[in-house]
Each structure stands twice: as C-alpha cells, then as structure tokens.
Chain A
Amino acid sequence: DQQVKQNSPSLSVQEGRISILNCDYTNSMFDYFLWYKKYPAEGPTFLISISSIKDKNEDGRFTVFLNKSAKHLSLHIVPSQPGDSAVYFCAASQFYGGSQGNLIFGKGTKLSVKP
C-alpha cells in the first residue's frame, strides 16, 4: 500500500501561470516532507522541505503548503517557467526515525510548462 501518493501523473501549465502539484500521505507519523525535481537522465534534486510544525514554507518561486488534518501537501510554483518542466517527486519521513524513518517517495508528477 502506497504511503505517499501523487495522483496526477502529469500536469501542463502555461508559462507565467501558477503550477500546483499535489501529494497525499497516509502515515500520521510522518513529520517531514520534501519535494524533489528530476530531469531526464539525472538524479532527483532537492527543492524544498517542510516540517510538520509549519503549514507553509517559501523559497523564491516555490512554496510548499502542508495540511496535516487532510494529510495533504502541495507545491506551488509561481510564475512557472519552461525550465521548470521536469518530474516532481513528493517524499515524506519521520525525521528522527533513524533507520526506520527513511524517505518514502511518491510516483512523481511530470510538469510541462509551455512557452
């Protein structure tokens, strides 16, 4: 059973508009959440994270929102740029879980930003 779900395999957005990528999780023990970005033939690149003590974290054009009651997080990219086109992975963990707290990844959402 998947503990981290990204239900949209793909998303297409016009350049300059907002991209919203969604992620749901089932394990209430998760307290640390991350977004990674992956280009073809490259490894995932860490983008932004959020601890469960917060409901929002912002870094430039990227903002992650966490709704603990709904077990839902989202990544907002605004404005979207063609260089943002990539696969975005959501991940969750128990930060102090030691070897039991490893990152659990979703299947990814492929974002296409059209000029």
Chain B
Amino acid sequence: ETGVTQTPRHLVMGMTNKKSLKCEQHLGHNAMYWYKQSAKKPLELMFVYSLEERVENNSVPSRFSPECPNSSHLFLHLHTLQPEDSALYLCASSQVVGGDTQYFGPGTRLTVL
C-alpha cells in the first residue's frame, strides 16, 4: 500500500455540483494537509489538521470544506466552485504538524466548467 493515496485522480465538475476529494495515509502520521497547486504558482497551503483537529485555515473560501474523521483520512468537500478553482489538489501527511517532512499523495486534477 503506497504511503498517501488520493481519489479520484481526475474530476470534472460543473459550478453547481457538489463533490468530495478523499485522501488516505498509511504512514501512521498525526498531521494531514490540503494544498492547491495552480500553474506557475507555488504550492498553496489550504488546511492543516493535527490529530483530527483543524489547526490552520489559510483564508480559503467557504466553498471548500475539509473534514478529518480520523488521523488516516482527510476529505475536501467542494460545492459551487468557480472555474478559477481548477487546479491540482494535493494531500500530504507528516509525523508531527508544522515543519516536519511531508509526504504527498498523487493529487486530484480538478477541472471546473
């Protein structure tokens, strides 16, 4: 089982749809993260969870809603997205929250029509 898995790998949705991205880590880590990667921009940190509690929300619009039911699973619920939200969404995990080495999943390529 690979370290961090994400599903789906590709998602196309309309602006009125509701969808969810799923992330699962098999590394026994305590912290999980959502990042957004847009073309020609640095990775943007969206949400940070430590032991299932959200510790950071970097001014992300409310149309993105994270959920962390346990330390191995992380979801990103999407609703009424905009075309500019099209990007690669990456999940990562680390042993402890913050500056520790993070291990990334393969990402979900999201296209909003």
Contact = CB atoms under 8 A, between A and B. Distances in A.
B30 to A, nearest CB: 12
A105 interface: yes
Contacts, number: 71
Interface stretch (B12-20, B70-78, B95-103): B95-103
B98 A95 contact: yes
A49 B101 CA distance: 8
B67 to A, nearest CB: 18
Contacts of B50: 99
A96 B101 contact: no
Interface stretch (A13-21, A38-46, A60-68, A71-79): A38-46
Interface residues of A, number: 30
A111 interface: no
Contacts of A46: 101-104
Given A102-B45, A106-B42, A44 B90 contact: yes
A44 B33 CA distance: 13
22 contacts: A2-B42, A4-B42, A34-B101, A41-B107, A43-B6, A43-B90, A43-B92, A43-B105, A43-B107, A46-B101, A46-B104, A93-B98, A93-B100, A95-B100, A96-B98, A98-B97, A98-B98, A102-B45, A105-B42, A105-B43, A107-B41, A108-B42
Interface of A: 2, 4, 31-32, 34, 36, 41-46, 49, 89, 93-108
